[in-house]
Amino acid sequence: MTELAIEEEINASANDIKIHGPEGFDGMRKAGRLAAECLDMLTEHVEPGVTTEYLDTLVREMVLDNGALSATIGYRGYRHATCISLNHVICHGIPGPKALKNGDIMNIDVTVIVDGWHGDTSRMYYAGEPKVKARRLVETTYEAMMAGINAVKPGATLRDIGKAIQTLGEGQGFSIVRDFCGHGLGQVFHSPPNVVHYAEFKDRWGGIHRAAETPITPGMFFTIEPMINDGKPDVKVMKDGWTAVSRDKSLSAQFEHSIGVTADGFEIFTQSPKGLHCPPYV
């Protein structure tokens, strides 16, 4: 996801947003499908005792076996094919040698490049049996992403997406992370517009932040990737420069799809071919 710290850099006026035709949709279908197949493949490998770097290796090899590229290897110095964000890690967790424990929840995020097009998607996974509260957070986050996606149609605005997500997440007593957002994508990994996951919030100095009412039009490609916390929404980035955690160490969940806007709604490019949308997957 895009850091809002670079909001200025990609602050979209509607005419910076690329509008794609049928070749774009074809390209995104292929890229989105491979990214989703990587996440499908992982479902049977996530269990207590397995390391996150092992899961990363499985994805790296699957991407290369399919003649594709990982978009994240080499991206701003990142060196892995996945981000694996455990428990209180919000996003950009770095795969490593630590073994999963029973009850861990994690987001695994994969971005591939197929014939120049980017497929970017993530899902939550459970190692063993998570607590009831963790399951509720994960299920709510999935529903929030889908509510955001279902708000996509020509005539609506990007703010309507954030409104749907915020209403659902906060309605369940959780908080929406504001420091990262969805993004345009296509032949570029991160491009305009920013797709924020709220309609409006007040920061701790009382400043009001309102999502842009950018019109949604056919041929736009972007991600919707809400991060939702069990505690406060505040983020801290660790000294490694990547790992973003909840400041209060509360559990965090995320799902992500890449979508295209059609004449009357949306197409999800990263739908699971096996129907493995939300855990538990077995």
Q: Which residues bind ligand MF3 (CB under 6 A)?
A: 1, 72, 75-76, 78, 83, 92, 109, 111, 120, 225, 242, 256
> Given the complex with ligand MF3, which of 201 and 255 has the nearer CB atom?
255
Residue 81 three-state SS = coil
Stretch that binds Co ion, among 40-48, 94-102, 103-111, 158-166 (CB under 5 A): 103-111
List 107's β-bridge partners, or say none.
85, 124
**Stretch near Co ion under the rule CB under 5 A, chosen from 34-42, 149-157, 255-263, 274-282:** 255-263
214 or 243: CB nearest ligand MF3: 243
Query: Strands (DSSP E) along the chain, which ranges?
Result: 2-3, 69-70, 82-86, 89-91, 105-114, 117-126, 175-176, 180-184, 191-195, 200-202, 208-210, 221-224, 227-229, 235-237, 244-246, 252-254, 257-261, 266-268
Binders in 110-129 for Co ion, by CB under 5 A: 120
**CA–CA separation, 282 vs 125, rounded Å?**
11
Q: Which is nearer to ligand MF3, 80 or 202 (CB)?
A: 80
Min CB(208)–ligand MF3 separation in Å = 26
Closest CB to ligand MF3 among residues 120, 160: 120
Task: For the CB of residue 122, give the shortest distance to ligand MF3 in the complex, in Å.
Answer: 7
Q: Which of 245, 228, 248 is nearest to 236 (CA)?
A: 245
Residue 17 binds which entry of Co ion, ligand MF3, none, with Cβ cut-offs from 5 to 8 Å by kind?
Answer: none
User: Which of 37/109 has CB closer to Co ion?
Assistant: 109
Q: Which of 87, 140, 175, 223 binds Co ion (CB under 5 A)?
A: 223
Laid out side by side, the sheet with 252-254 consists of 175-176, 227-229, 252-254
Minimum distance of ligand MF3 from residue 201's CB (angstroms):
21
Q: Residue 71 CB, nearest distance to ligand MF3 (Å)?
A: 7
Task: Say which entry of ligand MF3, Co ion, none residue 25 contacts (CB below 5 to 8 A, set by partner kind).
Answer: none
Contact at 8 Å (CB) between 210 and 8? Answer: no
Provide the pairing of β-strand 69-70 with 105-114. antiparallel
Q: What are phi and psi of 159, to 5 degrees?
A: -60, -30
Which tokens go with 145?
């992403």
Minimum separation from the CB atom of position 102 to ligand MF3 (A):
27
Query: b/e string for 6-23 if b means 16 or more Cβ within 10 A?
Result: eeeebebeeeebbebeee
- Residue 157 Cα to chain centre, angstroms: 20
- Cβ atoms within 10 Å of 88's Cβ, excluding its own: 17
Task: Tell whether residue 109 is a contact of Co ion (CB under 5 A).
Answer: yes
CB-wise, 22 or 176, nearer to ligand MF3? Answer: 176
Stretch that binds Co ion, among 27-35, 149-157, 169-177, 252-260 (CB under 5 A): 252-260
- Residue closer to ligand MF3, measured from CB, 47 or 53: 53
Q: What does the binding site for Co ion look like in residue numbers (CB under 5 A)?
A: 1, 109, 120, 223, 256
